[in-house]
């Protein structure tokens, strides 16, 4: 029997450490428990929010007035060169398991927080690789509004092949369809040298801590905005001259644009544009979600007005 709890604080379950209460909250560790949780939501006419590692969300100060389903389905089985894992497994866990078994291909994910489910939905990645590179198939639960009046919803379990997942830059079919709950996935890897894999993982984590991640005392949700595609050739030339990097596919890092408008270090309440990486908005002490929203609005406005580029959020707003 599932334990549905009431009025659970969501802030500690997010990397931002911000947000109000979940009116209803449940942790699920199997497909059956996910189904039970959905039954509860339907019976009580509640909106649901699927929570992974909480590393790519901003929860409203008013919390979430529905049922938060926290994915703790953490099974992880290695079959020769593939890994079959529940969506609640941490990315760090599968990186560790693959290295331990001499499997290469997931090194890019080293140091990225969150679960496999969250990473699939957002096609998490770095320039070196992304979730789509490893996906063989994804098992989902789809809840559709029923045409039969006496039944509210139809639940369908489906397995999507990689081509059906419509992966793009930080996007997927799962992001477009909020009725899709990712249950598990099969990831494909290849045999590699255990020592080399571990060395690569160590290097990537060290580099992240040195150049990307803000101070651990300044919680964040990772990159706040997606890197926009820009068609202003002068801006692209400025970026390339300034950084010595290429704007691949016309994309310019959001952090560079935020720096250009002078917002590195800008504070509103407890929210600040990170001094270390301008695309990280950080919680420098008891920030309210409202502080983050105001700071992100200022960033969007200045980048749009001064550089003519529209930024869009990589993070997901919950309960707004």
Q: Catalytic amino acids?
A: 170, 223, 314
Residue 40 C-alpha from the chain's centroid:
26
| Comparison of 63 and 302: residue with beta carbon closer to ligand FAD | 63
- The answer to whether 168 touches 176, Cβ cutoff 8 Å, is no
Residue for token pair 């929203």 = 293
Q: Does the protein bind ligand FAD through residue 35 (CB under 6 A)?
A: no
- The answer to whether 137 touches 115, Cβ cutoff 8 Å, is no
Q: Which contacts of 278-281 are long-range, i.e. CB under 8 A and separated by 24 or more positions?
A: 278/254, 279/223, 279/224, 279/225, 279/253, 279/254, 279/255, 280/213, 280/214, 280/220, 280/222, 280/223, 280/224, 280/255, 281/220, 281/221, 281/224
Q: Does the protein bind ligand FAD through residue 57 (CB under 6 A)?
A: yes
Q: Does the protein bind ligand FAD through residue 67 (CB under 6 A)?
A: no
Q: Which of 241, 240, 213, 229 is nearest to 126 (CA)?
A: 213
Q: Does the protein bind ligand FAD through residue 54 (CB under 6 A)?
A: yes
Quote the least distance from Cβ 152 to ligand FAD, whole Å.
20
Q: Does the protein bind ligand FAD through residue 253 (CB under 6 A)?
A: no
Q: Does the protein bind ligand FAD through residue 124 (CB under 6 A)?
A: yes
Task: By CB under 6 A, name the one of 103, 112, 160, 273 that touches ligand FAD.
Answer: 112
Residue 294, SS3?
Answer: helix
The contact pattern for ligand FAD, residues 210-229, with x = CB under 6 A and - = no contact, is ---x------xxx-------
Q: Does the protein bind ligand FAD through residue 167 (CB under 6 A)?
A: no
* Total residues interacting with ligand FAD, rule: CB under 6 A: 32
Interface residue list for ligand FAD (CB under 6 A): 15, 49-57, 71, 87, 112-115, 117-119, 121-122, 124-126, 174, 181-182, 213, 220-222, 316
């Amino acid at each position: 029997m599932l334990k549905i709890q009431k009025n659970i604080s969501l802030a500690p379950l997010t990397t931002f450490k911000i947000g109000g209460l979940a009116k209803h909250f449940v942790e699920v560790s199997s497909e059956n428990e996910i189904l039970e949780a959905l039954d509860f939501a339907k019976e009580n006419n509640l909106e649901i929010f699927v929570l992974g590692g909480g590393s790519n969300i901003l929860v409203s100060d008013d919390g979430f007035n529905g049922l938060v389903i926290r994915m703790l389905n953490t099974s992880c089985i290695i079959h020769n060169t593939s890994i079959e894992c529940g969506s609640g497994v941490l990315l760090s866990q599968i990186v560790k398991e693959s290295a331990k078994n001499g499997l290469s291909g997931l090194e890019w994910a080293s140091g990225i927080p969150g679960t496999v489910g969250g990473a699939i939905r957002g096609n998490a990645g770095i320039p070196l690789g992304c979730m789509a590179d490893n996906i063989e198939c994804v098992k989902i639960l789809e809840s559709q509004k029923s045409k039969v009046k006496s039944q509210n919803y139809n639940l369908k379990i489906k397995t999507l092949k990689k081509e059906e997942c419509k992966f793009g830059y930080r996007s997927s079919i799962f992001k477009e369809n909020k009725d899709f709950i990712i249950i598990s996935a099969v990831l494909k890897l290849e045999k590699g040298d255990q020592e080399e894999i571990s060395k690569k993982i160590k290097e990537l984590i060290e580099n992240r801590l040195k150049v990307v991640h803000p101070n651990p005392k300044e919680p964040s949700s990772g990159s706040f905005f997606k890197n926009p595609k820009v068609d202003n050739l002068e801006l692209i030339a400025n970026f390339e001259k300034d950084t010595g990097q290429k704007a691949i596919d016309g994309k310019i890092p959001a952090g560079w644009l935020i720096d250009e408008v002078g917002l590195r270090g800008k504070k509103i309440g407890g929210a600040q544009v990170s001094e270390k990486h301008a695309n990280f908005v950080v919680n420098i002490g008891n920030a309210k979600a409202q502080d983050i929203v105001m700071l992100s609005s200022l960033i969007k406005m200045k980048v749009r007005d001064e550089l003519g580029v529209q930024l869009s959020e990589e993070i997901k707003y919950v309960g707004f």
